[in-house]
Amino acid sequence: MSSSLYQGSSSPPPPISFNSAFSDPVKVGTQSKRPLSISQSEQLVKARRLEDVSSTHYEFDQAQDNYNIESAVNALRVLRLREFEQPVFISPMAKASLQAPDNTLFPLTDKVKDFLSGNSEVMLILGDSGAGKSTFNRHLENELWKEYRSGGRIPLFINLPALERPEKDLIREQLRAYRFLELQIQELEQHRQFILICDGYDESQLISNLHTTNLLNRFGQRNTKLLITCRSQYLGPDYRGRFVPSAVGQYNRAADDLFMEAVMAPFSKEQIEEYVERYVPLEPRTWVTKDYMDKLETIPNLMDLVKNPFLLTLCLEALPNVVQGKSDLSRLRVTRVQLYDNFVWHWLGVNKRRLQDNKLSGDKLVAYEGLMEDGFEQNGINFQQDLAAAIFQEQDGRPIVDYTERREGASWKAAFFGLSPDITLLRGASLLSRAGTQYRFVHRSILEYFYSRTIHGPVDSSDEFAPHLRSDSSDIRDRPLSQRNLVVEPSIIQFLAERVQLDSGFKQQLLAFVEQSKVDDGATRAAANAITILVKAGMQFNGADLRGIRVPGADLSGGQFDSAQMQEADLTGVNLTGSWIRQADLSKARMEEVEFGELPFLKEETPVYSCAYSADGKLLAVGLGGGNINVYDTVTWTVTRELLGHKRTVSAIAFSPSGQQLVSGSYDYTLSLWNLQEESDCLILEGHLSIVNDVAFSPSGDQVASASDDKTVRLWDSHTGNNISVLHGHTKYVQSVAYSPDGLNIVSGGLEGEIRIFDSHSGHMGLVLKNGKGAARCVAYSSDGHWIAAGGSDGELQLWDPRTGTSGRQWRGHESDVRAVDFSPDSKWIASSSLDMVKLWDIHTGTLVSVFAGHCTFVNCVVFSPNGMQLASGSWDKTVRLWDVTTIGAGLDLDNYHADTIRSMAYSFDGRSLISGGSSGTVRLYDAVTGKPGLLLQCGYGNANCVAFSSDGLRVATAGDDGFVRTWNAESGAPEFTLKGHTGNIVAMTFSPDGQWIASGSWDETVRLWCARSGAPGLVLLGHNGGILTLAFSPCGLMVVSGSKDGAARVWDIGTGESRVIVNVSYGPQDIAISSTARQVALVKFGSTKVELRDEESDEPLQTLKHDGSVFLVSLSPCGQWIASAFDDVMWLWRLVWRGAVHEWEHVLIIGDFLNGVSSVAWRPDELEFVAGSQSGFVQVWRLVEESDGSFSSRLMWSSGRTAFAAANAVIADVVGLSETNQRLLKQRGAKDGSETIDDNMDESQDDYSDEDQDDYSDENEDDYLDGSHSENQEESDTE
């Protein structure tokens, strides 16, 4: 197949080639994609004047006369090549999976070539609506037909929605559509090979596996290649079962090696420009390529929008009208729905002019004049809206309508496809395509767009495309919003969510539906759809009165409901994944089948080192830092047995295949074999000379293997406890061990980076594999025995073929050492753990499937349940987290994981604006009151460590890893000065109160002053012996206060450059906060749980603020009365109070559930409000409220970005139907049900982990275990 770009003729197409403008195909007819200019559009609609007689016939008379198979195939080839026309085709890029990073793209054409030439039988191509899937399919078919040679593989483009039974007669139905005779079809199926290019799997609403149900490549069929395209939004999390073929003769086993997958990527800027360059010459235009590109780049966010190829086509056509009369394009906002609005109005205008130019007569002239009286464009919109509504009402959204006048003349279809003049004119002017007796909208998104307009359309009368508002029935049950569950139609929801952002009236209407549901049972569906749209539009319901609302089945995932009143609400089946329901009152709410996307965790008294499921999945054993083992029932999640015996940490555990025995390895150098049938039956296995790192049972249950820091692997008889053999070869600590599924081999991984395979019976060493650059910290065998997975100390994951020793896929999975790996039972996925995260990977692509975030510190173990539906992970934070693998992607924070960490934030001096800087260098401005985002700037490369407003609010400054300070116009975003001078990262910066100066501090140990108005450099302040952490100007602007890694806080005179030390500590602080008056300094030592308060007059701390974890951030409010400190995923608030004649800091509030922790804090001037940014990229603004009793509470004002699930202090008293599992989850997250009893093992908080706990269990080698390495001296000492 040629990889060159194919460009066909630009001449006007024949009447049936209307489809050339769009990317969705029809069953037969012209298959092409053409961007439309005005003149081209006119030619198209003129060509469709005789639409009622323009059906396409596929007849192969010569072939049918003599049954010559090859003649029939060649006739089809000629026809398909003649019909194809694609003036612009840009070869798409793709990635391996939906979760794959965007920097792993490859040419899709190359991947398809590999598929066609390889052994795989099925390839799935996913893409968003409008990504160009159908365009690519038609191009692929054309290339394959051009390469076709007699007797070769036959490419069949199959539009799945057009077939009646694609799940059974895929090939036969398509060949019948091409008028092949039954004898010919039978001959072709038996003796020829096919390439089936199946388009529109989602539109056909299929759920079956086409390869399996069509029995492809079975019963004498020759090699058939099946390529399927589908919208990614259509599929659930575990979609592979619909596409992976079954192994021959084993219908219950998936043949993953016969399956390939690719996800079409959005256009890059270069591809967009190439498309525009090819688009412009197609027709005479007043704009050249540069004009289009300038507009695309100038209008905010438009370039991101048109990365979708279909939207690019619409945009190029509508763009001249969009910008007409607009002077400042940088302030113009264009959304997806506005592009559709413009294009539709433009399209109908073209058709109106075409009809004006035609010489209509008789009934058609009368009909046209009637349509013009009412407004032709509006009639055209109403016609298409009604058709879209009918398709969803009568066909459940199935896009193709089959109509013949004789058969369907009395049905609902006649109102749209009948022969009356007005219907004929409107149909001819609509965005419809026809193939024979089949009609459809030219693209699925056009159908969804018009259906969304039946609910709400554009209403701005100043817009030329604004439609007449259509009256709705007074009965809410008859309203369009009540007709269908829109939760399953994400594209329609997106259109309507954009309408909310554009039209406050629509927002109020939706809120009214939600309100009406409180008293009207008939409003429940409309209310559920309404609140779903509002949440997806970004509306936040913090503090809202939602008492008694009835919204069953609504999708509230990611919604903000802090302190909302939701008493007696009907939330049946509602999706609350990733929602923020902190302090929400859910008393007496109906909560049957509510989804939270998470499971409760198990709470232990000491850090968790190891965990293992029994083979039947009924038990989970947990090895603890104190030497104990707790065995849980996995139904009730209660401890059924506690095994005591080890003197130190239980580093590893494993169940026997029968489940009757459990083996454990410990830091006390021993193994224990526990008979779970007896209360006190335990064998102690001694022989290792150092700590035992891992244990494993053989598949037969007769043997146990153990790995130790004494550099050996030992084999033991599981019945007698006798040591069978000692396996040597490793030169450093042996970290892990695993049996092959057949039990014949053992694999072990060592700190020297070697992976060794031993014969489990003879002990002879076989293959020795080198694991990259780092230590082999963990190893695992896949259940099919095809792969060994190894996790390294450098964060790498590596696959090996144990049969040949060849290296498989290798990728960087974590930033730190990989603590554990495990294969899913079906060998599809690999789970790995490191630091505070668990990640799930696709074994075939090495791409990230999910991220499970929730642990506070090192995750030491991770293991799949035997049914593959759950993951259990154990951590130093004393918890075992249980993850529901069946809900991958729903609430597992993949977006948050890839989000931009907030590195810096600052308020304007008047408190009305807010600015944030991210780890990618992105800087965002917000309205501080509403949270509405504003300008987006780019601060060089690397982290945007510092952001600041000038005192007049007209200028912002940014600084980061590149060592430059940049200033920008706060209104337009135009760059002003770039201030150069620092030789290291800049990590602190501020404006003087009078706006005259900018002060910046760097890792180069200097503070520099700059003239804010000219950019001229001022004084360089020298004196610190460490990097600068913080800066603040005094209220008068004559002094600068700095805090440094050298432990000193200094006050500088900006006139002379002289300084004095006001605080000096002996340690290098993790963070420093200094009041602008320099009267208070708050410091926190690296790794400490304490914040010290100091001033210039005392050598000792004035007060020490003790926390429950290692503090990494501290911030003082401008008034000096409040401190915010952060550790783990929580923030503590402290208030300065007077105790008689003495003032001291009092802990008053805790705010939790910051995913991955708080990374930046800023206080709003003259208000008790602050903003917190997180490692996961969200921004939250909080207000501190003094209650009537003098206590303080917190209120979430607004949030930007998706947050973690939060339920602290939510009230769930007397809720109805809440499952026991979900009730435990909510109580763990701090929800209150009025009960005083808290399950000891399902504790309501995990925030009691601290570094003191770490110290309790960090004896001897455990300190090294935390570091992820051992020194040579320690190693030899322990072995001795």
CATH number at residue 661: 2.130.10.10
CA distance 1208 to 561: 12
Asked, for residue 76, whether it belongs to a domain, the answer is: yes
Say yes or no to pLDDT of 8 above 60: no
Domain termination site, one of 264, 292, 317: 264
The H-or-E segment that residue 113 falls in is: helix 108-117
Say yes or no to pLDDT of 941 above 90: no
Say yes or no to pLDDT of 1213 above 80: yes
Q: What's the Cα-to-Cα distance from 1124 to each of 148, 992, 1112, 1136, 1138, rounded to whole Å?
A: 71, 23, 11, 12, 19
- Any idea which of 97-106, 274-283, 724-733, 991-1000 has the lowest mean pLDDT? 97-106
Higher-pLDDT residue of 402, 232: 402
Taking residues 246-260, report their average pLDDT.
Answer: 72
CA distance 426 to 377: 10
Q: What is the CATH number of the domain that holds 101?
A: 3.40.50.300
Give the pLDDT confidence score for residue 248 in this predicted structure. Answer: 66
Nearest residue to 1200 via CA among 1226, 1222, 1167, 1174: 1174
Answer whether 863's CB lies under 8 Å from 612's CB. Answer: yes
CA distance 1010 to 997: 6
The verdict on 136 and 162 lying in the same domain is yes
Asked, for residue 932, whether it belongs to a domain, the answer is: no
Q: Which amino acid belongs to residue 616?
A: D
Strand ranges (DSSP E) for 277-352? none
Q: Where are the alpha helices (DSSP H) in 850-960?
A: 894-897
Tokens standing for residue 296: 């695309």
Asked, for residue 1064, whether it belongs to a domain, the answer is: no
The H-or-E segment that residue 1199 falls in is: strand 1192-1200
Nearest residue to 967 via CA among 919, 1037, 915, 1031: 915
CA distance 926 to 930: 8
- Any idea which of 213-217, 644-648, 654-658, 872-876 has the lowest mean pLDDT? 213-217
Say yes or no to pLDDT of 1209 above 70: yes
The verdict on 633 and 717 lying in the same domain is yes
Domain termination site, one of 455, 485, 503: 455
Residue-wise pLDDT for 357-371, tens only, equals: 877 888 989 999 999
Overall domain count for the chain: 5
Highest mean pLDDT among 77-91, 203-217, 502-516, 1151-1165: 502-516
Give the pLDDT confidence score for residue 250 in this predicted structure. Answer: 52
Counting DSSP H helices and E strands in the chain, the numbers are 27, 68
43: pLDDT confidence band, cut at 50, 70 and 90? very low
Nearest residue to 442 via CA among 453, 430, 451: 430
**Residue whose structure tokens are 């030592």:** 1085
- Any idea which of 660-674, 698-712, 952-966, 1096-1110 has the lowest mean pLDDT? 1096-1110
Q: Where are the alpha helices (DSSP H) in 123-181?
A: 133-147, 170-177
Give the pLDDT confidence score for residue 222 in this predicted structure. Answer: 63
What is the three-class DSSP state of 576? coil
Beta pairing class for 1103-1106 and 1111-1116: unpaired
Say yes or no to pLDDT of 1211 above 60: yes
CA distance 496 to 533: 7
Asked, for residue 841, whether it belongs to a domain, the answer is: yes
Query: 257: buried, middle or exposed (CB in 10 Å: 19+, 13-18, 0-12)?
Result: middle
Q: Which amino acid belongs to residue 250?
A: Q
- Any idea which of 17-31, 422-436, 469-483, 1213-1227 has the lowest mean pLDDT? 17-31
Answer whether 895's CB lies under 8 Å from 887's CB. Answer: no
Q: Where are the alpha helices (DSSP H) in 328-469?
A: 336-357, 362-374, 376-395, 405-408, 414-417, 421-429, 444-455
Answer whether 1244's CB lies under 8 Å from 1238's CB. Answer: yes
Q: Which domain holds residue 829?
A: 601-890
CA distance 481 to 500: 14
Taking residues 1231-1242, report their average pLDDT.
Answer: 60
Give the pLDDT confidence score for residue 202 in this predicted structure. Answer: 87
Neighbours of 521 (CB within 10 A): 9
Give the pLDDT confidence score for residue 1245 in this predicted structure. Answer: 39
The verdict on 164 and 236 lying in the same domain is yes
Give the pLDDT confidence score for residue 85 in this predicted structure. Answer: 82
- Any idea which of 133-142, 763-772, 774-783 has the lowest mean pLDDT? 763-772
143: pLDDT confidence band, cut at 50, 70 and 90? very high
Taking residues 498-510, report their average pLDDT.
Answer: 94
887: pLDDT confidence band, cut at 50, 70 and 90? low
Say yes or no to pLDDT of 204 above 90: no
Percent of the chain with pLDDT over 70: 87
Taking residues 125-129, report their average pLDDT.
Answer: 90
CA distance 563 to 279: 53
1155: pLDDT confidence band, cut at 50, 70 and 90? low
The verdict on 400 and 548 lying in the same domain is no
Taking residues 731-758, report their average pLDDT.
Answer: 95
CA distance 10 to 367: 34
Answer whether 877's CB lies under 8 Å from 1246's CB. Answer: yes
The verdict on 238 and 353 lying in the same domain is no
The verdict on 663 and 628 lying in the same domain is yes
884: pLDDT confidence band, cut at 50, 70 and 90? confident
690: pLDDT confidence band, cut at 50, 70 and 90? very high
Tokens standing for residue 800: 């090996």
Taking residues 523-531, report their average pLDDT.
Answer: 97
Give the pLDDT confidence score for residue 1205 in this predicted structure. Answer: 83
Residue-wise pLDDT for 845-876, tens only, equals: 777 888 887 787 889 999 999 999 899 999 99
Asked, for residue 44, whether it belongs to a domain, the answer is: no
Q: Mean pLDDT across the chain, nearest whole number?
A: 85
Give the pLDDT confidence score for residue 1100 in this predicted structure. Answer: 85
Strand ranges (DSSP E) for 1028-1068? 1028-1033, 1039-1044, 1048-1053, 1059-1064
Give the pLDDT confidence score for residue 610 in this predicted structure. Answer: 97
Give the pLDDT confidence score for residue 219 in this predicted structure. Answer: 60
Give the pLDDT confidence score for residue 779 in this predicted structure. Answer: 96
Q: What does the DSSP assignment read for 766-824?
A: EEEEE-TTS-EEEEEE-TTSS-EEEEETTSEEEEE-TTT--EEEEEE--SS---EEEE-
Say yes or no to pLDDT of 811 above 90: no
Say yes or no to pLDDT of 953 above 50: yes
Say yes or no to pLDDT of 221 above 80: no
CA distance 666 to 648: 6
The verdict on 232 and 107 lying in the same domain is yes
Residue 449, phi then psi, degrees to nearest 5: -60, -50
Cα dihedral 389, 392, 393, 398, rounded to 10, equals 140
**Residue whose structure tokens are 């920008």:** 968
CA distance 206 to 242: 9
Neighbours of 422 (CB within 10 A): 17
54: pLDDT confidence band, cut at 50, 70 and 90? very low
Asked, for residue 484, whether it belongs to a domain, the answer is: yes
Give the pLDDT confidence score for residue 815 in this predicted structure. Answer: 79
Cα 230 to chain center, whole Å? 19
Residue-wise pLDDT for 1005-1015, tens only, equals: 999 999 999 99
Give the pLDDT confidence score for residue 1270 in this predicted structure. Answer: 39
Tokens standing for residue 116: 């066609």
Cα 552 to chain center, whole Å? 25
Nearest residue to 782 via CA among 844, 839, 834, 734: 844
Answer whether 858's CB lies under 8 Å from 1266's CB. Answer: yes
Say yes or no to pLDDT of 71 above 70: yes
- Any idea which of 722-736, 825-839, 1046-1060 has the lowest mean pLDDT? 825-839
Cα 810 to chain center, whole Å? 23
The verdict on 420 and 506 lying in the same domain is no
Answer whether 532's CB lies under 8 Å from 496's CB. Answer: no
Say yes or no to pLDDT of 639 above 80: yes
Say yes or no to pLDDT of 1242 above 70: no
Give the pLDDT confidence score for residue 813 in this predicted structure. Answer: 86
354: pLDDT confidence band, cut at 50, 70 and 90? confident
**Residue whose structure tokens are 């592979």:** 240
The verdict on 731 and 801 lying in the same domain is yes
CA distance 750 to 1206: 41
Give the pLDDT confidence score for residue 648 in this predicted structure. Answer: 96
237: pLDDT confidence band, cut at 50, 70 and 90? low
Give the pLDDT confidence score for residue 311 in this predicted structure. Answer: 87
Say yes or no to pLDDT of 757 above 90: yes
CA distance 1180 to 1200: 6
Asked, for residue 701, whether it belongs to a domain, the answer is: yes
CA angle at 440 for the pair 437 and 443, rounded to the nearest 5°:
150
The verdict on 725 and 789 lying in the same domain is yes
Say yes or no to pLDDT of 98 above 80: no
Give the pLDDT confidence score for residue 1202 in this predicted structure. Answer: 65
Neighbours of 1077 (CB within 10 A): 15
Residue-wise pLDDT for 267-303, tens only, equals: 999 999 999 999 999 888 889 999 999 999 888 878 8
Nearest residue to 120 via CA among 3, 211, 238: 211
The verdict on 502 and 650 lying in the same domain is no
Taking residues 328-339, report their average pLDDT.
Answer: 83
Give the pLDDT confidence score for residue 1076 in this predicted structure. Answer: 76
Q: What is the CATH number of the domain that holds 1243?
A: 2.160.20.80
The verdict on 286 and 299 lying in the same domain is yes
Asked, for residue 1115, whether it belongs to a domain, the answer is: no
473: pLDDT confidence band, cut at 50, 70 and 90? low
Taking residues 985-992, report their average pLDDT.
Answer: 95
CA distance 316 to 929: 36
CA distance 340 to 222: 45
**Residue whose structure tokens are 């699930």:** 1205
Tokens standing for residue 114: 């590999």
Nearest residue to 740 via CA among 687, 776, 794, 698: 698
